[in-house]
Amino acid sequence: MYKPIEIDKENLTILGVAFPDMETFNSAAGAIGSNMYEGFMPTKKRIALIRDYVTNQITFAQFVQSAAMWKY
């Protein structure tokens, strides 16, 4: 079930996790929102992990390894 989350476009944050620019913020917000309809439950830690991946702070392998630990 979809549940709205805290998104602050003015400060470019999702659940309090800051994004570096509007393009990255919009891309992540769109992906997170569409995946929420499929059952993804965002948390601050998960949002930070997504941000780190899309801003090239971690590799895809690191992202997958961390995401594999998520419990639904």
Number of domains in the chain: 1
Residue 30 lies in a domain: no
CA distance linking residue 33 with residue 60, whole number of Å: 20
Residue 24 lies in a domain: no
β-strand partners of 17:
14
Which range marks the domain in which residue 54 is found? 42-72
Q: Which residues of the chain register pLDDT less than 70?
A: 1-2, 71-72
Residue 1 lies in a domain: no
pTM assigned to the model: 0.85
Residue 21 lies in a domain: no
The confidence score (pLDDT) of residue 44 equals: 95
The confidence score (pLDDT) of residue 47 equals: 95
Residue 37 lies in a domain: no
CA distance linking residue 36 with residue 3, whole number of Å: 8
Residue 56 lies in a domain: yes
